[in-house]
Amino acid sequence: MNPIVRLALEEDIGSGDVTTRACIAESQQAQGRFLAREPLVVAGLGLLPELYELITVHKHDGDRCAAGDVIAEVRGPARLLLERERVALNFLQRLSGVATLGRQFTDAVAGTGCGVLDTRKTTPGLRALEKAAAAAGGVVNHRMGLYDAVLIKNNHITAAGGVRCAIERARSSGLPLEIEVRTREELREALDCGASHLLLDNLTPAEAAEWVRDIGGRAKVELSGGITLENVRAYAESGADFVSCGAITHSARAVDISFRLELE
């Protein structure tokens, strides 16, 4: 069993679901349906086999659902279905919320040629699940952690003694390398060092467009900082290759999914 699922079950059930045990006969069988209660993009369905044995899936991660759509059905002992209901819903509602918000961002930039990236601003312990949910919404996963790509930010530049020193030292890792530049001087130095991926933070859309024109295709450009659903298209139209937004994972609203039980 996925250790995250195991932890969630232990946290919720503890020594036993006292309400269900008191009310429901051990022999009672049942079936349950997971229903979308609002328009959403579903994610997290891969966790259902960790919770139930008999599952019929009507949707797949990344599918759009309308209010009233049946997402999945499960069968088994009524006690098991009831005691795992909240854990299943917590995962589905949270992860579908991330996928839904991710799809809103990707829809907002459609046709601009600009991709949407997620970040490491995730719930501790749930990063892999939340990034998979973001991808289900059409978002491009950025680095998974500190170990699989180099991202030199302002504090790294300060600690390393400058842009050139940071880039030259980081190249020995052999990993993909991106560097944040805050001033025109840092931009020129990064380009002179052959930087192929630049991060521009906290610019306005107009400022971003000016910087992108000056870069002139010499490096990939990612924009971050203050990017919302309301302004993401303006940033995407600056000519940048990517926009990144932490809100997709750290501020997604849990969507409304319900579970309806029927006895057999």
Q: Residue 179: CB partners within 8 Å, gap ≥ 6?
A: 151, 152, 157, 163, 166, 167, 190, 195, 197, 198, 199
Roughly how many angstroms between the first and final C-alpha of the chain, as a whole number?
27
Sign of the CA dihedral running 74, 75, 78, 84 = negative
Other C-beta atoms within 10 Å of 209: how many? Answer: 17
Could you confirm whether 86 is annotated as catalytic? yes
Check 50, 107, 201, 237 and give the catalytic one.
Answer: 201
Could you confirm whether 220 is annotated as catalytic? no
Could you confirm whether 59 is annotated as catalytic? no
* Burial class for 139, CB neighbours closer than 10 Å (0-12, 13-18, 19+): buried
Could you confirm whether 107 is annotated as catalytic? no
- Amino acid in the structure at residue 218: R
Could you confirm whether 153 is annotated as catalytic? yes
Residues 235, 168: Cα–Cα separation, whole Å? 30
Check 85, 180, 186, 189 and give the catalytic one.
Answer: 180
Check 121, 127, 169, 220 and give the catalytic one.
Answer: 121
Check 86, 127, 164, 182 and give the catalytic one.
Answer: 86
Closest Cα partner for 163 from 140, 180, 145? Answer: 180
Check 64, 153, 169, 182 and give the catalytic one.
Answer: 153
Active-site residues, by number, are: 86, 121, 153, 180, 201
